[in-house]
Structure 1
Amino acid sequence: MTDERRAELAEGIERVRARVAAACAAAGRDESEITLIAVTKTFPASDVRLLAGLGLTDIGENRDQEARPKAAECADLPLTWHFVGRLQTNKARSVAGYADVVHSVDRAKLVRALSAAAVRAGRTLRCLVQVSLDENASPEERGRGGAHPGDVPELADEIAGADGLELGGVMAVAPLGADPLPAFERLAGIAAEVRRNHPGASIVSAGMSGDLEQAIACGATHLRVGTALLGGRRAIVR
């Protein structure tokens, strides 16, 4: 079963990397500019180990209660852990213990909580400002989080000035049911504005299984890919 699963994951990686290569060629970009993050939500730690063995060592998780034990189980591997889901402030201390990059910072209260947790843990967290790209979002969509674009510069300044935190850039999820290209174009403009004040904040986290080509066309540097790499969601089986 392990050999079969390794082959499935290898095929997924090959397919996604081929899409990335084609999108980069179309956009006149170099593939080396793209970091592929495998979002392993609902998949077991054994899949993380197989991915690492196949050379994919950037791992994304959405929920602390799943991510924390998975990270502990894989602590011997040279992985970069990305927390990509909406984060409650009461989970900041836990996430600061294992995450290297937090993609979903969307409010000042969370900045303060992550800063205190990082200092306590003796770690430095790279943080991205999550941007809401749909002002007309439904309540369900607003539940995905994200700062209003007008609030992003101030929030970026707060992260940059916080102890234990490093401003990495911006992140966004394209609005549901809409062409992602205009949304990602807006994100590119917001990212450029952030870089004017913080030149080192070069990360643009955008693009998932269904829209990675559009994200690359608009300057994404980090792709958060789950289904296209790992297949349909499944219950974790140890």
Structure 2
Amino acid sequence: MAGLEENLSAVRARIDAAARAAGRDPATVRLLAVSKTWPAADVRALAALGQVDFGENRVQELLGKAAELDDVALRWHFVGQLQRNKAAAVARTGAVVHSVDRLALVDTLDRAGRSAEAPVEVYVQVDLGGPEGEAAARGGARPDDVPALADAVAGAAGLRLRGLMAVAPRGAEPAPAFARLAALAERVRADHPEADGVSAGMSGDLEAAVAAGATLVRVGTALFGSRPLPCGEFEEHQPRESHR
């Protein structure tokens, strides 16, 4: 508990400092604690410290933790790649979905949202490309396809467009990629003013994301520590994490 409290304070301080350095109000940037692979007890402990937003990247883990922590007022987010046959299960949890990257998923989630208690809140995921402009391995729609995808989400009765999400490409400085994301987000907001969210930045690059206008940063390692690998060893701390 003490370690989690220390880590949470440190991450919040980083966000505040980054926002002030960018001339922004720190209150405009929310922290999403990505708790994948960590037990529900850790989520409960952070919630007791005032953390509200939590993210998972596997459907089964999201469903299990949402059920186990049903007595805690949390806001769940799904940050992994979503298969269409699991969309309804995610919708029933009320989770915000950060990884909508194709029209087929929009249609499936729309149906799920119309059957759920409330529309599914959605971020369109953008592929920011690799260092040489190649497609990223982290998912997302090509930037040229994003406006049409955002239009489809905004026009779906079972969905609510929140904004754009992206992961900085590996092996490159994150600032230029986040600048491209910011420009694209501004273009989307011109047509959909309510889509004012930008989900970007993780443990290693949250400062660059906040400087570019991120409204939600997704942090895992800096809060929970390095995650155990299947072999029982622990992963090394990396400058940037994948959907943490």
Q: Same fold (TM over 0.5)?
A: yes
How far apart, CA to CA, are the structure 2 residues paired with 1:177 and 1:7?
A: 34
The structural deviation recorded for 1:119 is: 1.4
Q: Structure 2: which 5+ residue stretches go unaligned?
A: 231-244
SS state at 1:12 partner: helix
SS state at 1:96 partner: helix
- Residues 1:221 and 2:215 are matched in the alignment: yes
How far apart, CA to CA, are the structure 2 residues paired with 1:214 and 1:46?
A: 31
Percent identity at matched positions?
57
User: Counterpart in 2 of 1:197?
Assistant: 191
User: Counterpart in 1 of 2:205?
Assistant: 211
Determine which structure has the larger helix proportion and give its number: 1
User: Counterpart in 1 of 2:152?
Assistant: 158
Q: Compute the TM-score of the two structures, normalised by the length of structure 1.
A: 0.93
Change (3 A) 1:171 1:75: same
Decide whether the 8 Å contact of 1:159 with 1:165 is kept in 2.
Answer: yes
- Residues 1:65 and 2:60 are matched in the alignment: yes
- Tell me the matched-pair count: 229
Decide whether the 8 Å contact of 1:43 with 1:234 is kept in 2.
Answer: no
- Residues 1:181 and 2:170 are matched in the alignment: no
CA offset digits 1:158-177 (Å, max 9, x no partner): 00111211000000000011
The structure 1 segments of at least 4 consecutive aligned residues displaced by more than 4 Å after TM superposition are: 135-139
- Residues 1:91 and 2:91 are matched in the alignment: no
Instruction: Decide which moves more: 173-182 or 16-25.
Output: 16-25
- Residues 1:230 and 2:224 are matched in the alignment: yes
How far apart, CA to CA, are the structure 2 residues paired with 1:62 and 1:179?
A: 24
User: Counterpart in 2 of 1:3?
Assistant: none
User: Counterpart in 1 of 2:5?
Assistant: 10
How far apart, CA to CA, are the structure 2 residues paired with 1:138 and 1:41?
A: 28
Decide whether the 8 Å contact of 1:156 with 1:194 is kept in 2.
Answer: yes
CA-atom RMSD in angstroms = 1.5
The structural deviation recorded for 1:137 is: 6.3
- State how 1:44-59 maps to structure 2 within 5 Å: 44-59=39-54
The residue type paired with residue 185 of structure 1 is A
The structural deviation recorded for 1:49 is: 0.6
